[in-house]
Every structure is written in C-alpha cells, then in structure tokens.
Amino acid sequence: MTSDLDSLCGQIAALAEGTQTATSLSERALNRAVEMADLNAFVALVPSIVMAQAKAATVRRQQGNPLSPLDGVPIAVKDNFLTKDYPTTACSNALPMESIGQDATVVANLRRAGAIILGKTNMHEWAYGATNSISSVGPTKNPHDLSRITGGSSGGSAAAVASGIVGAALGSDTGGSIRIPSAACGIYGFKPGFGRASRHGVLPLSWSLDAPGPMARTLKDIAALLPYFIGRDEHDRSTHFALPFSKPKMPNQPPRLLNLVGSGLERSDGVSDALVAALNASVGRHENVEIENVTSYFAAWEAILHCEASSYHAGLLEKNPNGFSPVTRAHLEAGNKITGVEYLRAQRIRSSFITMLLERLPSWDALVLPTLPVVAPKQSDLWQEFGGRKVTTQDSMTWFCWLGNLAGFPCISIPIANQKSGLPVGMMLMGKPGQDEQLLAIAEWIDMRLRKEH
Amino acid sequence: MTSDLDSLCGQIAALAEGTQTATSLSERALNRAVEMADLNAFVALVPSIVMAQAKAATVRRQQGNPLSPLDGVPIAVKDNFLTKDYPTTACSNALPMESIGQDATVVANLRRAGAIILGKTNMHEWAYGATNSISSVGPTKNPHDLSRITGGSSGGSAAAVASGIVGAALGSDTGGSIRIPSAACGIYGFKPGFGRASRHGVLPLSWSLDAPGPMARTLKDIAALLPYFIGRDEHDRSTHFALPFSKPKMPNQPPRLLNLVGSGLERSDGVSDALVAALNASVGRHENVEIENVTSYFAAWEAILHCEASSYHAGLLEKNPNGFSPVTRAHLEAGNKITGVEYLRAQRIRSSFITMLLERLPSWDALVLPTLPVVAPKQSDLWQEFGGRKVTTQDSMTWFCWLGNLAGFPCISIPIANQKSGLPVGMMLMGKPGQDEQLLAIAEWIDMRLRKEH
C-alpha cells in the first residue's frame, strides 16, 4: 500500500507503517512551506516549535505509545484559534503579537491526540472579509494560479493544504470562510452545524454565525478530523446539547437534492455547467427549486454579522482604532449604527428563513449550490460579473455561502471538475440541523461517484 | 375522604369519586366569579362557553371515558395565551377584540386532557408591568385586602386562584409575572426554566426571557399541571431539546440553599424575618451569599426586555400607537433607542451572570430569595420603602424575580407564614438549568415541613 503523503490519512498510514515519523513529516512540511513561501500561507511558523512537538511524537511512537492514529501528523491552524505556543493575532495589527498561553478547545483536542501544530495560517483580518486580500502580513496567493486570490477568510489554511504543505488545516466560517477558500483552492471544507462544534478559544467574528471546521484534501481526512470538532464543550454554551460525532451511514439510495436557484443566486455559465455536470454524473436526478426574498435574507445575515462583530470589538476599537485596517474599521463603525430592534428583526427573518428551508421546500436530504458563482478571481479584479450581475469581488465570495450560516445548518464544499478553465470549482451541500454525519455521508456518496469518473 | 374543592387535586378527586361533575364544578366556579366580581380577575368569562365544555366533559365521565384525570376541571387562562373560543387581547386596547381561532400549545394540551377553559384573566397590559394596575379593564384587587394590588402581570390568574374561583390558572413570566402575584396573593407559582416549556401561542413580551407556567393553591396542583407545560413543541424552537416532565425525586437530605444578599437585594424587615423563620423551620442550616454587580445585571435584564418588546411591537406601535397606554408606549419608544451593540452587551452580561451563579458561587441545590421585598402594596402607594431603599412600586415588584429570567433557570414562589401583618409572603427558589423537577422536589421538601408546623 502506497501512502499519498499529501493527504492526512496518507500520513496517518505512513506513521502506522513506520515509513515516516513525526520528525520526517514535520521536516517535509517545513521544507514545503519554504518552497511555497510565495503563497504567503503562514503568519507564524517556527521550526523549533514544530520540531519539539515532532520529537516528542516520534518518541511516543518509538515507545509504542502513540496518543492516537493522528499522533505525529502536522496540522495548520488559522490565526484566530488560540494556541498556547504561537501568538494569535487574527492577522490584525489591533492585537499585540503575544502568545495567549492557552489552546482553543479544538486545538487542545487535536494536541491531546498528538497532532503537531505546524503554524498559524494567514487569514483575512479578523475574518471580516472573504478575499484574504486584507491581512497584517499581506494577501495569500492561490496555489493553482499565483495571480489569483485564495478567497477567505481561511485562505492561508486552504493554500497550505492545496499546496501540500499540510494534509489538513483548521478554519472558521461565518459567511463561508471555510468553504470559500476550499472551493477556490480545490480542496474539501466542512462547516459544522451551529451548536455542534466548540468555538471556545476561537476569536469570534459573529457568535451566532461562527463555526470552526476542518479543511483537507479528501473526505476521509475530513471524517478523521470531525470528531475533534464535534461534541459538547462546557466552555461553549452553544454546544450544550451537542452529540458527539457518530459514524456516518452511507445512504442506500441516491440522496434527494434540491438545487437552489432564484434572483440573488445567479452563477457564471462555467460554474453552472460544472455543477450540473457533477450532479448528472453522481445523483442523476435533482430538482431546481426557486427561493424568494434572497435579498432580505442576505440583509439579515449582514445585519447580524455587523452588529455582533461591532459588539465584540467595541472595547478594542475604542482603545486602538488605528490597529484596524480602514475597511474593517468602517465595517465596525457601520455595525455600531444598527439598532437593537433592527438586529432582532434580522434574527426573526433568520427564523423565518429556517422555517422556509425546513418546512416550505419539497422534501430534501441536502440542498445544493455552487460554493462560489465564479472561479478564483484575479488579485487585481475588484468586480465580478456573472449571470447578469456585477458585484464586488468580496460579495461574489460570500454570494451563496452565507445561507449556510444564516440557517446554522452543516455545510460542505467539495471540489468538482471544471471542463472550462481547469480552475477549481466547488459544490456546496447543506444538510439538516444536527445531521452533520448524514451530510458527510451524502458528500461521500456523491464524491465517490465523481472520483470514479476520472 | 373529603375533597378540598378549592384545590385542583381536590376537584380531580371529587370528579373521580363522582361527588362532583364537570357541570357542578363549572357552575361553582361561575358563581364564585360572580361573588368575587370586585376582584376584577377576569377580562372574558362567558357562561355559555363554559357550560358547553362542562356538558361535554360530564358526558365523557358518564360514559366512563374521561380524557384524563383532569377531564372536567375548570382552569383560568391569562389573556396573553391564545384560545380558540375566547378573544385574546393582552388587556390592551391595541389589539382588536376578536378570537384568533387557535389555542396556545399549553392551552391545547390542557384541552386535550379535558380541562375546561373557564375564562381569560386580567393582566397588566401586554405583561409590560408588574402591578396589574394598567389594564384595558382596570386593576385587579387582592383577595386578602381589596385595597391592595395583586401584583402582576398574571394578577387576574392569582386572584382567581387565591379567591377559590378556580383551582389553578395559567400565567406567564418575563421578570416575575407568575411569581409576583402568586406571592402577593398567597399561592404557588412555577416558572419553568427557559427552553423547557412551549411559548407557542403566548403573546410575547420578551422572547429570550418569557416562560409560561402554572399557578395553584398547592404544590401537588403545580405538579399535576407541569407535564402540560414541559416538553418539546415543534412550534417553539426554544424547546427543541426539552425533555418531558419526569417524576420529581424527593431529596434524602436537606437541600443546600444559598440565601442571596447584597446591594440591590434589600428587603423589608417583615419579609426578611418571615423568610429566615421559614428557612429555620424547614432546612435549618442555610448560607447567606453576597452577590455583586446586581445593578449591572438588572440593567442587562431591562435592556433585553425593552429591546425585544420593542421589536415585537414595532408593527402595532406604528399602526395603532393610541391603542397602547401612555406608559407602555413610552416603554416601547425607549426600547427603540437601544442600539444593537447595547443589546448584545446586555446578552453578554447575562452570560457572565449565569457563569457566576453556576461556577463562582459555593455549591448549591437551590438559590433562595424572598419573592417580593414587601407585602402586597396598597393600590394608592406609588413608592415603596424598605432596607434603606425607596423605589417605585413597579420596581419593588420585580426587585428579585428578574434574576430568574435573566438566568433562565426554573423558579418557584411558595407561600410562607408572615407573623407580622398576616399578609402573604412568598419564598422564591431558583433551581439549576434543566432541573425543573429537582426544584419542585426541593420546594416539596421545604413546603412539607412548613405545613407541618401549623
């Protein structure tokens, strides 16, 4: 059995077989990070911190006491997850560059399993944007084409995985920040449903929308990581009723998919063709369902996001306004102007949105959309045109993804073939609340058939 | 066995024994309501509606097919619960006097069990006040002294139970609206923990604080009614994880009570003496624990209340501003001025309040406070003085109770002896989240020992 050393499960297998050690895998990752320095995927990466972890993991394996199958695999972490060794800055100049001395729950879970925290990945400042163009350390670049953006805000994590520096990385998602760069960089990204995964120690953007999740090169890698995200954490009250991750059950018939369309859900012809081709090649039959009021739902998502972000940042904005980039500062000031009644109206629109998806649509196993309406934009393009729309590149990135955060449903982006330009295209699937496992199984069902094709 | 026909369980027993019928109990309730008309306990009470229900219940018993032990007992319902036969006005002139044609979930649950919905009880307009002095049909009067208020906002329900018109009534509680009039009128009132009881069909005041609950003359009556309140209701998403009511387990040792004290938690000497005497006579040992920042927690409760109420009423306030009383209108206009960031700060203070109660206090089974700092005030008294404080009668009513809503914990008010004036005094107990049953058991443990005393 040959191990694909670019994937997490490949590395796990190599460690189990003894063909690699934590030390060799870590050296490989560090060397690749140097080779791929142009991507600007990392904000913090310190060989001595990595090699100390690797040495300890190697010793555990030598003594026959690995902490878990993951013991010794390097993983990259988005810079809004607290880490006890690396500083956490959210790629903003507003926070002092100092280590906080504790791990986010998900990081702690992985560390307890022996995973090596390789470094902190570049992200859109405070996760408050979806291009990864605004960051204290500059923009990330797309491994498929350095002149293109990765999308964000977990752009560094996506670039690190897509370029083979690490087999997997951690991201967070408030309006697509895991799925957007996963789609733009051609990897898999999973956003758990709200209340399933602990956000403790992940610097918030908008706490009723945020979710942390894994990004990786295969669905098997995603499945291997989800147990470290999902389940009750006494430090995050939103997970009070979260069940632990259970084994996904493969559907024994094709999942019923609704392909959402309508005004506000336009997509470029290339992306549309790629999605339809992937659906035809996998589930075959699927239904187009038009949803209405997309603009009003989007405005609700935006009001919740702005208001919660301004609430979280109120103290820091007052103390250190110039630490924020002008764009982020403008967002925060706009959020301060939203009234409580407007915020609550947005939350009530959110509630009617969820009711619409669950009760008013024809029955479904997963909702499907492209992850992005376009392929990864050029760094220099501030506008995108598709399906009769002309929108900012920022808005084109969250174009579909925010629906999953407003609903709070589990979502995944999986890469599909793009006959037109060859640049990555993602299929986004949304599952039902509490059914993260079923969503993963549906994604596997589809993915298996798409991989067979090639 | 003689039945105490004033209590719900007494009536249930009399129906089972056949010494009473639904018809005789309903006639008795209607006659009492006429006798007690001065209390102004009801806003709607129609003999033909009552007797039609009674006749059907009597026939079911005659045929040996009662729907439940409750089949045939008259129950009064606060006027903010939707009822398919009676109109629902929240005792406001802002709503048209017309029947909505559906039952709130709790009303439907009770109706399915055969309970007779006697009438709709007087309440503080929109539940937006705790005196029951402002209502489209005028103030309610306290059965213990007609010159005194009942407190509110479920004042009509409390008066109807305390005067023996009905054995039990439904109330709702956002800052004490079940517990306040229960204490002032000398009965039992239970506020379920947030997320345990369905609010579907109960006109909201503030949906992150509201809870519906039973009011009755004995704890056995409360226990008999709670199963109709508690459990998952697909129409109220907050109950998504609610377990059904389970049988309370009586503690086998004295419950550990913390008596909360501190600045902002002052009480009159008479109430303090009554509470200490009741604690000495029941649990014996209890601990005084001082809590800090009460003013900041109270401000958070108030901001949440005002903001959510203004959100809910926005449409009606625009359409029919003069339908609201000037005081209520002023509250709603004040709520419109709160910013989203202020609202969210209040929700974050709430979160730190819950953490303080659960993690920073010494270990406890229940927190204890008087329900009110004073006995039921005179109708004419707009101010109350106690423990060095001078506050409005309105503020004296919610003085302690709001803590239970801000926490979202289950709460109960039980009547205790008052040697000083003989007017009712309530002991408020707060239980832990999700432990409504344990709280009831603790209340029974205490109540049993207090009743034995007399």
Q: Say yes or no for a CB contact (<8 Å) between A311 and B338.
A: no
Tens of pLDDT along B244-258? Answer: 999 999 988 999 999
Q: What is the mean pLDDT of the segment spanning B323-339?
A: 96
In this prediction, residue A95 has a pLDDT band, given cuts at 50, 70 and 90, of confident
pLDDT range class, residue B99, cuts 50, 70, 90: low
pLDDT at B96: 73
pLDDT band at A1 (very low <50, low <70, confident <90, very high): very low
Q: Which residues of B touch A338 (CB under 8 A)?
A: 339-341
- A348 CB neighbours in chain B (<8 A) are 311
pLDDT at position A99 over 80: no
Give the minimum alpha-carbon distance from A229 to chain B in angstroms, rounded to a whole number. 21
Inter-chain touch A311–B345, beta carbons under 8 Å: yes
At B95 the pLDDT is 81
Instruction: State chain A's mean pLDDT as an integer.
Output: 96
Q: Is A344 in contact with B241 (Cβ distance < 8 A)? A: no
| Banded model confidence at residue A419, pLDDT cuts 50, 70, 90 | confident
Ramachandran angles phi, psi of A121, nearest 5°: -95, 150
Whether B2 has a pLDDT exceeding 50, the answer reads no
Mean pLDDT computed over A300-307: 98
pLDDT mean over B343-352: 97
Residue B419 has a pLDDT of 85
Nearest-CA distance B345 → chain A (Å): 7
- Give the C-alpha separation, B295 to B301, whole Å: 10
Element (H, E) at B227: helix B219-229
Residue-wise pLDDT for B137-171, tens only, equals 999 999 999 999 999 999 999 999 999 999 999 99
Q: Taking CB atoms and an 8 Å limit, are B340 and A314 in contact across chains?
A: no
**Is B343 part of the contact surface with chain A (CB cutoff 8 Å)?**
yes
**Inter-chain residue contact A314 with B345, CB threshold 8 Å:** yes
**pLDDT value at residue A281:** 95
- A308 CB neighbours in chain B (<8 A) are 344
* Percentage with pLDDT > 90 across chain A: 94
In whole angstroms, give the CA distance from residue B74 to residue B29.
Answer: 7
The rounded distance, in Å, linking the Cα atoms of A115 and A110 is 5
User: Which residues of A fall within a CB distance of 8 Å from B337?
Assistant: 339
Q: How many angstroms separate the CA atoms of A69 and A110, rounded?
A: 11
Q: In angstroms, what separates the C-alpha of B189 from chain A's closest C-alpha?
A: 28
CA distance B313 to chain A (A): 10
Residue B97: per-residue pLDDT:
63
User: Considering only A248-257, A266-275, B5-14, B332-341, which range has the smallest mean pLDDT?
Assistant: A248-257
Q: If you measure CA to CA, which chain A residue comes closest to B344?
A: A311
**More confident site: B67 or B1:** B67
Of A241, A337, A339, the CB nearest to B338: A339
Tell which of B316, B344, B357, B358 to mutate to test the A interface (max A CBs under 10 Å): B344
Q: Which of A109, A101, A309, A327 is CA-nearest to residue A210?
A: A309
Whole-number pLDDT of residue B261: 97
d(CA B180, CA B201): 22
A258 to chain B nearest CA, in Å?
Answer: 24
Asked if B187 and B217 count as a contact pair (C-beta separation under 8 A), the reply is yes
Out of B303, B310, B354, name the one closest to residue A341 (CB). Answer: B310
> Using a CB-CB distance cutoff of 8 angstroms, which residues of chain A are in contact with residue B342?
340
Q: Which pLDDT band, with edges at 50, 70 and 90, does A178 fall under?
A: very high
Instruction: Tell me the longest C-alpha to C-alpha distance in chain A.
Output: 63
At residue B3, the pLDDT reads 47
Residues of B in contact with A339 (CB under 8 A): 336-340
Number of CB pairs < 8 Å for A and B? Answer: 62
Is the minimum CB–CB distance between B335 and chain A shorter than 8 Å?
yes
Query: Which residues, 6 or more positions from A140, have their beta carbon under 8 angstroms from its beta carbon?
Result: A39, A40, A41, A122, A132, A149, A150, A152, A155, A156, A158, A159
Active centre residues of A (catalytic): 78, 153, 177
In chain B, which among 211-250 make CB contacts under 8 A with chain A?
Answer: 237, 240-241
Best A310, A344, A352, A355 member to test B by mutation, with max B CBs in 10 Å, is A344
Q: Residue A452: what pLDDT?
A: 82
Q: How far is B261 from chain A (nearest CA, A)?
A: 27
Contact of B141 with B38, CB cutoff 8 Å: yes
Segment B260-310, tens digit of pLDDT = 999 999 999 999 999 999 999 999 888 999 999 999 999 999 999 999 999
**Which of chain B's residues have a Cβ under 8 Å away from the Cβ of A345?**
311, 314
User: Pick from A190, A194, A219: which is nearest to A204 by CA?
Assistant: A194
Q: Considering only CB atoms, which chain A residues are within 8 Å of B351?
A: 237
Find the residue in A nearest to B313 (Cα): A341
Half-sphere exposure of A345 (CA within 13 A, CB side): 16
Report whether pLDDT(A90) > 90: yes
So which residues of B are the catalytic ones? 78, 153, 177
Contact yes or no for A344 and B308 at CB 8 A: yes
Average pLDDT over residues A12-31: 98
User: What pairs with residue A392 in β-bridges?
Assistant: A383
Query: Given this model, what pLDDT does residue A98 score?
Result: 64
Tell me the pLDDT tens digit for each residue of A111-122.
999 999 999 999
Whether pLDDT at B1 is above 70? no
pLDDT at B122: 98
Closest-CA residue of chain B to A339: B339
A62, pLDDT greater than 50: yes
Q: Is the pLDDT of residue A2 over 70?
A: no
Task: Kindly list the distances between the CA atom of residue A382 and the CA atoms of A65, A158, A182, in Å, as whole numbers in the listed order.
Answer: 52, 21, 20
Q: Do A311 and B341 touch (CB under 8 A)?
A: yes
pLDDT of amino acid A97: 63
Query: What pLDDT sits at residue B297?
Result: 98
Q: What percent of chain B has pLDDT over 90?
A: 94
In the DSSP assignment, the letter for residue B259 is E
User: In this complex, do B340 and A340 lie within 8 Å of one another by their Cβ atoms?
Assistant: yes
pLDDT of residue B452: 82
User: CB-based contact (8 Å) between B307 and chain A?
Assistant: yes
ipTM higher than threshold 0.90: no
Nearest CA in chain A to B346: A311
Q: How far is A241 from chain B (nearest CA, A)?
A: 7
B349 contact A CB<8A: no
Q: Give me the residue label for tokens 């005041």.
A: B205
Q: Which residues of A touch B241 (CB under 8 A)?
A: 240-241
What is the pLDDT at residue A453? 57
Average the pLDDT over A415-436 and give the result: 95
Does A339 sit within 8 Å of B337, measured CB to CB? yes
